[in-house]
């Protein structure tokens, strides 16, 4: 199964209707657009607002993704939680509902010692017969995971079971560190909204997990990188970087506000509603800059 987890694997945004319920019609449009672009898989994760969903909603979201995807791409469910019991529940529900792999961040409410962190990830690895992607999202939530801990998991469970999304800063050097420390065994994925994709690609990642908002650009960028066309890569890459730089200003809520604005602008979502409370809202001047950069990206892709 792990050999299918590669290429472009976007993190789906969760659309909400005026009653703050998951908008299944918009979710279907989002997934269908991603599949039309030729992605290798779809995921639920941090920009899916999973930490703001109820338990029932998290389980239902993954089930809906499986149903809409209908075997046309790999489905990865983010199952990280504040307790091992919660995380195992989410993992088993996801796999039972047809997800092909799970991904987990550590608990974010406390910095765990390595012994507790090991019990958490080992429990997840043992709970389901599916690959586990270990995610360090410490660039925006939680504490970092050291490279020697990653390698220990890899040694214990093997590269078909344990995969990695190392998003702790500095991302590029951490990718190389894990690559070298594991003797090239670690299969890794870039996050960063695509902002660091060129650098991560050169360091040997197996795939990228961006949001869906700039997915046409990310797919095009991944394809030209695989062909070795650096001139084309940088033309596509620069407007993507500029938009993600705007998103980074306000952390996770910066990503969500701008990403959902773009999803509405593309006609994929009816609303840019986010789960409250939020720490930041898109202002008119940032919106105008996003609009200019989207025009630049669209012209480049054309």
Q: Where are the alpha helices (DSSP H) in the chain?
A: 24-36, 55-69, 84-96, 114-127, 147-157, 171-181, 197-202, 215-227, 230-248, 251-265, 284-301
Question: Is 46 annotated in some ligand binding site?
Answer: no
Whether the upstream peptide bond of residue 242 has omega within 30° of 0, thus cis, is no
Contact 167, 139 (CB under 8 A): yes
Q: Where are the alpha helices (DSSP H) in 97-194?
A: 114-127, 147-157, 171-181
Residue 137: how many CB atoms within 10 A of its CB?
23
Tokens of 268: 């994929």
Contact 263, 15 (CB under 8 A): yes
Distance in angstroms (rounded) separating the CA atoms of residues 182 and 191: 20
Distance in angstroms (rounded) separating the CA atoms of residues 82 and 73: 29
Which residues are part of a known binding site? 209
Which residues are part of a known binding site for pyruvate? 209
């Amino acid at each position: 199964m792990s050999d299918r987890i590669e290429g472009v694997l976007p993190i789906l945004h969760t659309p909400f209707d005026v009653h703050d319920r998951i908008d299944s019609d918009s979710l279907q449009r989002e997934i269908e657009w991603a599949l039309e672009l030729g992605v290798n898989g779809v995921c639920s994760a941090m920009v899916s607002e999973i930490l703001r969903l109820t338990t029932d909603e998290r389980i239902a979201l993954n089930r809906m993704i499986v149903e809409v995807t209908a075997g046309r791409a790999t489905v990865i469910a983010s199952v990280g939680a504040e307790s091992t019991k919660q995380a195992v529940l989410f993992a088993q529900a996801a796999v039972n509902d047809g997800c092909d792999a799970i991904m987990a961040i550590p608990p974010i409410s406390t910095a765990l010692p390595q012994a507790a962190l090991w019990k958490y990830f080992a429990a997840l690895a043992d709970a389901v017969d599916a690959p586990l992607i270990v995610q360090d999202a410490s660039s925006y939530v939680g504490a970092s995971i050291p490279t020697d801990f990653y390698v220990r998991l890899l040694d214990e469970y093997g590269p078909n079971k344990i995969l990695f999304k190392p998003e702790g800063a500095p991302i590029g050097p951490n990718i190389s560190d894990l690559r070298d420390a594991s003797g090239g065994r670690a299969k890794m994925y870039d996050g960063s909204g695509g902002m660091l994709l060129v650098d991560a690609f050169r360091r040997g990642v197996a795939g990228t997990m961006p949001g869906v908002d700039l997915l046409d650009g990310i797919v095009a960028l991944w394809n030209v990188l695989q062909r070795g066309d650096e001139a084309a890569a940088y033309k596509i890459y620069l407007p993507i970087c500029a938009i993600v730089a705007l998103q980074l200003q306000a952390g996770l809520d910066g990503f969500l506000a701008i990403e959902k604005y773009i999803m509405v602008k593309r006609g994929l979502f009816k609303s840019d509603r986010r789960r409250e409370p939020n720490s930041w809202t898109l202002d008119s001047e940032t919106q105008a800059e996003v609009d200019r950069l989207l025009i630049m990206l669209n012209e480049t892709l054309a």
